[in-house]
A and B are shown apart, each in its own frame.
Chain A
């Protein structure tokens, strides 16, 4: 699979769909690039964010065959970090995968 944005966002959608299985209908996360994951409008609590990170890294390994670390550096150091929205996460995943290949 090519490490492009489209494939990366599909990986993120797959993970969010899995997380949604454990959430009430009202609390389900919208599968849209604009969905805020973390920060002032973030949809996820710290447990859900932890699961998102772990599952995304697993899915990336399956989809692209590389290991990435979404927590490297200080990803939550500011509220404008790479895990802010579905869109920024997908871009970050695509960048990290490209660096690994």
Chain B
């Protein structure tokens, strides 16, 4: 087994890291977008760049053979701002997989954070996280997604490709027809009846700062910061490529609710997909969510998306979405793990009521 060493990653490692990620079929940002994950990050900037962007594994020839990214994210709990270290872009060359623990060890040894967070864990990463005493976020059903199929035949085709079933082109017709029949029997999943009026927005404007102030005052759960500045950083890539759909609801000129839908295609499977990555509301009217889902479903159809999917959410929002969505699927692994650094926070975060995870948390929509 070859020798390896681990060191803090630098921005100059981009080419080596990107090459490695590409080799293993992972999505990689362009260099400027990759750097923006930190240099444009409000928490990183606030800390003056005094934050490890991740770690790299190097072999004896100083070649990069592994990487794990480390992104700071602010969240609030009970009026206190916490810093979470979100792990992202974890990749290790196959000959060096046994040394993944070197990267994990550095990540978990961080002291200047309150929380360690993984919202996109593979099965293997989940086992490593458990070994380092991270806990699954204590909410049942988070490993099930909810979804709507917009184009049944194309969706069937990508499903068959994912499952590596032969004769995809032929089988996609009967499978697509079966899926359409099931959806018909369960109802289209399209919310019915008169809905509150929702509008689209092209960007995050000053209304989002006012909304965040109200949201944080009423929040009882741990909540990722959602001020305008943070939202703009988080979704900068999607905003640039028009892959983020922002729906808003207003009352008396003030934002009462918003939903964010993000394009998250899987080109290798021929899958075109939109996901609901955030929904926040100060208004208890459930029809607002219905209206935003209905608007997104219409837009999915026009945009050629085969499915609309939801990962995460809890409580009334999740229940509402479960009633609307005609399909659900089990994810191949549990995605959401956390480790609180202080004993006090460890105890507090065992309370499932303090969690409302969704696609905005962590790195799944970055």
Contact = CB atoms under 8 A, between A and B. Distances in A.
Interface stretch (A5-13, A23-31, A35-43): A35-43
Interface in B68-114: 97-102, 104-106, 108-109
Interface in A59-75: 69, 71, 73-75
Contacts of B298: none
B105 A69 contact: no
Given A69-B133, A71-B133, A79-B3, A46 B101 contact: yes
A3 to B, nearest CB: 21
DSSP class of A's interface residues: helix, strand, loop or mixed? loop
Nearest to A42: B98
Nearest to A39: B1
B170 interface: no
A73 to B, nearest CB: 6
B1 A41 contact: yes
Contacts, number: 61
Nearest to B104: A76
B11 to A, nearest CB: 23
A46 B98 contact: yes
B332 interface: no
Given A45-B97, A46-B97, A76-B101, A71 B1 contact: no
B131 A53 contact: yes
A32 to B, nearest CB: 18
A100 interface: no
Contacts of A75: 105
B109 A50 contact: no
A42 B106 CA distance: 19
Contact of B102 (A47, A73, A76): A76
Contacts of B124: 46-47
A49 B133 contact: no
Contact of B127 (A38, A50, A74, A79): A50
Contacts of A53: 131
Contact of A44 (B5, B6, B98, B106): B98
Given A42-B1, A50-B127, A54-B131, A76 B105 contact: yes
Given A40-B3, A54-B130, A49 B101 contact: yes
B132 interface: yes
Contacts of A79: 3-5
Contacts of B5: 79
B106 A45 contact: no
B2 interface: yes
B128 interface: yes
A40 B97 contact: no
A45 B131 CA distance: 13
Interface of A: 38-42, 44-47, 49-51, 53-54, 69, 71, 73-77, 79, 81
Given A71-B132, A79-B4, 4 more contacts: A38-B98, A42-B98, A47-B127, A77-B106
19 contacts: A41-B1, A42-B98, A44-B98, A45-B98, A46-B98, A46-B99, A46-B124, A46-B127, A47-B127, A49-B98, A50-B128, A53-B131, A71-B108, A71-B132, A74-B109, A76-B104, A77-B109, A79-B3, A79-B4
